[in-house]
């Protein structure tokens, strides 16, 4: 029987539900071990505004934090499923820290890996980092399923802050959509598990990503690509400023607050103007290149894995 490790970190339980639904078709044919990461010092939920923005420098600089022992049920797995959320265009700190674990890296070595992302809407930069960690551990990424909030960028920013800072997944102001990934998409994660199971049974795991994309349910707006390709550089600048100049709690709080106000202005005032001129002037001239780039982010990052070494027929 094929052994599958499904591991993730979730504060709200949303990603737990996604991973459970994704792995449910696999569980009927394979052994699936579910492991939930826990920081040694748990993060608060709901967050305070200061706590929420204070994790930005460590997220962006990808500084690891101590985790509770993994307590993996087995020492060897045939397939690894990693679920994670992007925090400030980077992997969440528990997931970054996971890849610093020698125990986990030994599990990933030589194995196919599928990543499942639960995002607001931006995941490209965080996935680049995760791909780097997988490759350093000598694993092979064979699939990536990004699920996100399907509302607009500005509305989703408002609703996610409402959820994170108040702990309530209800309609902000009573009129905006509920925050987070829709129940339909959370439940629908199982269909990707079904596709993966089919690929496993046919020993065609390298077809998984293309078959998942063929459902037409995975979206990546051009506007999000445009923002992400520029925002991470600015986040790194701010992260380094806070890390270098925030040498006392008072100074750190000052610079974190400056970043917070910068982000609010950039998100709600500058970005809409920049996007307006981009789609008015530049996008019509570069539409083909932009769409090619979108396809690259959706599937060009996947590597070919030697499926014969996994003996999927035993599943």
CATH T-level assignment (fold) for domain 3-221+295-314: Rossmann fold (3.40.50)
Can you give the pLDDT of all 315 residues of the chain as single tens digits?
799 999 999 999 999 999 999 999 999 899 999 999 999 999 999 999 999 999 999 999 999 999 999 999 999 999 999 999 999 999 999 999 999 999 999 999 999 999 999 999 999 999 999 999 999 999 999 999 999 999 999 999 999 999 999 999 999 888 999 999 999 999 999 999 999 999 999 999 999 999 999 999 999 999 999 999 899 999 999 999 999 999 999 999 999 999 999 999 999 999 999 999 888 988 888 888 888 888 889 985 666 666 655 655 444
3 state SS for the chain? CCEEEEEECCCCCHHHHHHHHHHHHHHCCCEEEEEECCECCCCCCCCCHHHHHHCHHHHHHCCCCCECCCCCCCCCCCEEEEEECEECCEECHHHHHHCCCHHHHHHHCCCEEEEEEEECCCCHHHHHHHHHHHHHCCCEEEEEEEEECCCCHHHHHHHHHHHHHHCCCCCHHHCCCCCCCCHHHHHHHHHHHHHHHHHHHCCCHHHHHHHHHCCCCCCCCHHHHHHHHHHHHHHHHHHHHHHHHCCCHHHHHHHHHHHHHHHHHHHHHHHHHHHHHHHHHHHHHHHHHHHHHHHHHHHHCCCCCCHHHHCHHHC
Kindly list the domain boundaries of the chain, sorted by start residue. Answer: 3-221+295-314
Whether 68 and 95 have beta carbons less than 8 Å apart is answered as no
Which of 235, 225, 294 shows the shortest CA–CA distance to 89?
235
Per-residue model confidence (pLDDT) at position 315:
45
Whether 310 and 2 have beta carbons less than 8 Å apart is answered as yes
Non-local CB neighbours of 105 within 8 Å, separated by 6+ positions: 99, 136, 137
Non-local CB neighbours of 221 within 8 Å, separated by 6+ positions: 121
Which of 152, 133, 142, 135 shows the shortest CA–CA distance to 219?
152
Per-residue model confidence (pLDDT) at position 173:
87
Tokens for 19? 């991973």
Per-residue model confidence (pLDDT) at position 314:
46
pTM above 0.85, yes or no: yes
Per-residue model confidence (pLDDT) at position 305:
64
Tokens for 305? 């894995």
User: Distances from the Cα of 306 to the Cαs of 26, 192, 312, 313, in angstroms?
Assistant: 20, 21, 11, 14
């Amino acid at each position: 029987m094929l052994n599958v490790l499904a591991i993730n970190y979730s504060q709200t339980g949303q990603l737990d539900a996604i991973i459970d639904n994704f792995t449910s078709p696999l569980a009927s044919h394979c052994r699936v071990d579910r492991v939930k990461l826990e920081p040694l010092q748990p993060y608060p939920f709901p967050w305070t505004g200061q706590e929420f923005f204070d994790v930005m420098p460590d997220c962006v600089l990808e500084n690891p934090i101590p985790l509770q022992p993994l307590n993996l049920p087995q020492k060897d797995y045939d397939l690894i499923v990693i679920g994670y959320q992007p925090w400030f265009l980077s992997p969440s700190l528990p997931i970054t820290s996971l890849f610093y674990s020698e125990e986990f890296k030994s599990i990933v070595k030589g194995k196919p890996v599928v990543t499942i992302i639960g995002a607001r809407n931006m995941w490209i930069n965080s996935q680049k980092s995760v791909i780097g960690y997988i490759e350093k551990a000598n694993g092979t990424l064979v699939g990536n399923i990004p699920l996100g909030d399907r509302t607009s960028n500005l509305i989703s920013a408002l609703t996610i802050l409402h959820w994170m800072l108040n702990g309530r997944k209800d309609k902000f102001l009573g009129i905006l959509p509920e925050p987070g990934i829709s129940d339909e998409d959370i439940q629908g994660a199982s269909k990707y598990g079904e596709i993966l199971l089919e690929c496993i049974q046919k020993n065609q795991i390298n077809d998984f990503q293309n078959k998942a994309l063929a459902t037409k349910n995975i979206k990546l707006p051009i506007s999000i690509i445009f923002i992400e390709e520029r925002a991470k550089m600015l986040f790194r600048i701010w992260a380094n400023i806070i890390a270098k100049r925030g040498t006392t709690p008072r100074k750190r709080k000052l610079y974190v607050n400056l970043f917070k106000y910068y982000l609010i202005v950039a998100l709600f005032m500058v970005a809409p103007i920049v996007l307006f001129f981009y789609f008015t002037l530049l996008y019509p001239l570069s539409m083909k290149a932009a769409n090619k780039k979108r396809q690259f982010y959706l599937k060009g990052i996947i590597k070919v894995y030697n499926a014969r070494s996994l003996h999927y027929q035993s599943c």
